[in-house]
Copies of this chain bind each other. A is one copy, B any other.
Amino acid sequence: MNVFYATDIIKDKITLRDQEAQHCARVLRKGRGAEVFVIDGKGSRYRCEIDEIKRQTVELSVLSYQRFDPNPGMPHIAFGIMKNMTRLEILLEKITEIGVSEISPIICTRSERTALNMERLEKILISAIKQSLNFYLPVFHRPRTLEDFISAQSGSKRFIASFGPGVPELSSIQGRHENPVMLIGPEGDFTENELSLAIDADFKRVNLGSTRLRAETAAIVACTLLRY
């Protein structure tokens, strides 16, 4: 059965809007009485019936409802914002499919971009959770500086991707699956200053193997190693 995303849920009435309404009514040509699933990105899935197709919205009634627990130990992935939006979108889609609790785009010294179209990018996350049958939409933070990001962290498992002699491989770290925060540099990597800042804030240096990965590949590989 088709799955849609909605946040406009009041008692047993749900309204699909924007691309979700379009997709339901125009692309899939669902009509009154058809049954669909709706997820709210917060752990609930609703089995619904279509009441009415309006010009801009689709109105639904809830038939039944199921609650799902979040997957335990999901990582928080933070990454230096890259210039190439296609690569940033690949990063977001893939880590959301693989499983992530929070996503933090970071404005680094070597980031050539500091602003993001959050609304457009959130659609990628919504599409990815529907695709992957996740019931939780990751918390998607607005771009912030490395200092602001670091000062907002409270968890104890903190990693920063970094090459260097004696730096252990992420895949060898015990306890890496316990709600870790993983920080990945932008194209051109962190500056020495930024690396020191993170290390001073108890971020542990880990490497992602012997090959040099693009920034978005590093994030996907790190997310995989933190999930499995």
Query: A-side interface residues toward B, CB under 8 Å?
Result: 71, 90, 94, 97-99, 131-134, 169-171, 209-214, 217, 220-221, 224-225, 227-228
The residue from B90, B98, B211, B221 contacting A133, defined by CB atoms under 8 A apart: B211
Give Cα A210 to B210, complex, Å.
28
Are A220 and B132 neighbours in the complex by a CB distance under 8 Å?
A: no
- A98 contact set on B, CB distance < 8 A: 209, 211, 213, 217, 221
Q: In the complex, what residue of chain B is closest to A228 when comparing beta carbons?
A: B171
- A-B CB contact pairs (8 Å), 25 listed: A90-B90, A94-B217, A94-B220, A97-B211, A97-B214, A97-B217, A98-B213, A98-B217, A98-B221, A99-B209, A131-B212, A132-B211, A132-B212, A132-B213, A132-B214, A134-B211, A169-B228, A209-B227, A209-B228, A220-B220, A220-B224, A221-B224, A221-B228, A224-B224, A225-B228
CB-CB under 8 A from A214, the residues of chain B are 97, 131-132
Counting every copy of the chain, the complex holds 2
Nearest Cβ distance between residue A211 and chain B, in whole angstroms? 4
Q: In the complex, what's the smallest C-beta–C-beta distance from A147 to chain B, in angstroms?
A: 30
Q: Within the complex, what minimum Cβ distance (angstroms) separates A156 from chain B?
A: 23
Q: Which residue of B lies closest to A171 (CB)?
A: B228
Task: Indicate the member of A99, A211, A213 with the most B CB atoms within 10 Å.
Answer: A211
For residue A16, give the distance in angstroms from its CB to the closest CB of chain B: 22
9 tightest A-B CB contacts, nearest first? A171-B228, A132-B211, A224-B224, A133-B212, A97-B217, A132-B212, A221-B224, A97-B213, A94-B217
